[in-house]
């Protein structure tokens, strides 16, 4: 299998007054194309910082990141944004839906920006898949947390990303709702053949992925393959 993400000797250091704060220290790992990969660790272990670096949203202090065959080091801001628009999807803990748009509009915005003539059709199909066919014209404030996260799922898969980063996707949901969202995420992921990288502190969720990278204090303490093919 080919590697869709290659991280080598990554470091991220912030200057705080005269002090240097190292958030990530000598991080190296690879993610196989089409796999489901999780990054776990306690709060403050550097998970979200690592996600931002992997997706090219931030720059490392040292080390290299290769995303979808492209070395991010060689790209400027515009080129990074173009790569993300084409290859990368995101799901966040706090949904990040646009409050003035309906569920359907939130899903089709990325497609319309790319000039996709079938945007509405694709959006409706995805919202139907996540069980929201009757909520197309509802605004985020009219939806529950679980429904909002399902809209966010549909939006993330709308432009068929090669790799999808999910940052604590169930962090704001109760257990039962979170379980439904994860089930949908794994099903949509399998159907579309996307590579999925999940950041989570939920070990049960991590155990349903094929590889678990454990972080503590900005360092990798374990990188293990699980027996899962796909949940």
d(CA 54, CA 69): 13
State the average pLDDT over residues 221-231. 75
- Return the pLDDT at 231: 41
Residue found by looking up tokens 């403050």 in the block? 44
Query: pLDDT band for position 2 (50/70/90)?
Result: confident
Residue found by looking up tokens 């944004």 in the block? 81
- 165 contacts 65 by C-beta, under 8 angstroms: no
Which has more pLDDT, 24 or 113? Answer: 24
d(CA 130, CA 150): 6
Q: In this model, does residue 65 exceed pLDDT 70?
A: yes
Please write the tens of the pLDDT for every residue from 195-205: 999 999 888 88
- What is the SS3 assignment for 97? coil
CATH T-level assignment (fold) for domain 3-225: Rossmann fold (3.40.50)
Please write the tens of the pLDDT for every residue from 98-150: 999 999 999 999 888 888 899 999 999 999 999 999 999 999 999 999 999 99
Residue 206: phi and psi, rounded to 5, are -55, -35
- Return the pLDDT at 1: 55
- Return the pLDDT at 134: 96
Q: In this model, does residue 93 exceed pLDDT 70?
A: yes
Nearest C-alpha neighbor of 54 from the set 195, 150, 204:
195
State the average pLDDT over residues 70-92. 92
- Dihedral over Cα of 135, 200, 36, 92: its sign: positive
d(CA 15, CA 18): 7
Structure tokens that stand for 24 in this block? 């990530």
- What percentage of the chain reaches a pLDDT higher than 70? 98
- 209 contacts 38 by C-beta, under 8 angstroms: yes
State the average pLDDT over residues 70-76. 93
Structure tokens that stand for 98 in this block? 């646009």
Sort strands 3-16 and 88-91 into parallel, antiparallel or unpaired. unpaired
- What is the SS3 assignment for 127? helix
State the average pLDDT over residues 3-26. 93
- 111 contacts 158 by C-beta, under 8 angstroms: yes
- What is the SS3 assignment for 223? strand
From the CA atom positions of the chain, what is the Rg in Å? 18
What's the pTM value of the predicted model, to 2 decimals?
0.91
State the average pLDDT over residues 89-96. 89
- Return the pLDDT at 228: 62
The mean of the pLDDT values for the chain is: 92
DSSP 216: E
- Return the pLDDT at 101: 96
- Return the pLDDT at 104: 96
* Residues 6 or more apart in contact with residue 213 via CB below 8 angstroms: 29, 37, 38, 39, 40, 220, 222, 223
Please write the tens of the pLDDT for every residue from 41-63: 988 899 989 999 999 999 999 99
Q: In this model, does residue 184 exceed pLDDT 60?
A: yes
Domain boundaries, the chain: 3-225
* Residues 6 or more apart in contact with residue 121 via CB below 8 angstroms: none
């Amino acid at each position: 299998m080919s590697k869709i993400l290659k991280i080598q000797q990554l470091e991220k250091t912030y200057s705080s007054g005269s002090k240097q704060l190292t958030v990530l220290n000598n991080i190296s790992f690879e993610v196989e194309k089409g796999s489901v990969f999780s990054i776990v660790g306690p709060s403050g272990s550097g998970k979200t910082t690592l996600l931002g670096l992997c997706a090219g949203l931030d720059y490392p202090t040292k080390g290299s990141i290769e995303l979808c065959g492209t070395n991010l080091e060689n790209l400027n801001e515009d080129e990074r944004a173009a790569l993300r628009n084409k290859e990368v999807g995101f799901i966040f803990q706090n949904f990040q839906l646009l409050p003035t748009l309906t569920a359907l509009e939130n899903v089709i915005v990325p497609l319309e920006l790319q000039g996709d003539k079938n945007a509405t059709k694709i959006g409706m199909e995805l919202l139907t898949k996540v069980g929201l066919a009757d909520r197309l014209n509802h605004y985020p404030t009219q939806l529950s947390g679980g429904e909002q996260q399902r809209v966010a799922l549909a939006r993330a898969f709308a432009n068929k990303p090669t790799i999808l980063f999910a940052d604590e996707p169930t962090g704001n949901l109760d257990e039962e709702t979170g379980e439904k969202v994860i089930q949908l995420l794994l099903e949509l992921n399998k159907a579309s053949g996307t590579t999925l990288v999940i950041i989570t502190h939920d070990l049960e969720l991590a155990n349903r992925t094929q590889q678990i990278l454990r972080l503590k204090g900005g360092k990798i303490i374990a990188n293990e393959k699980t027996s899962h093919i796909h949940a």
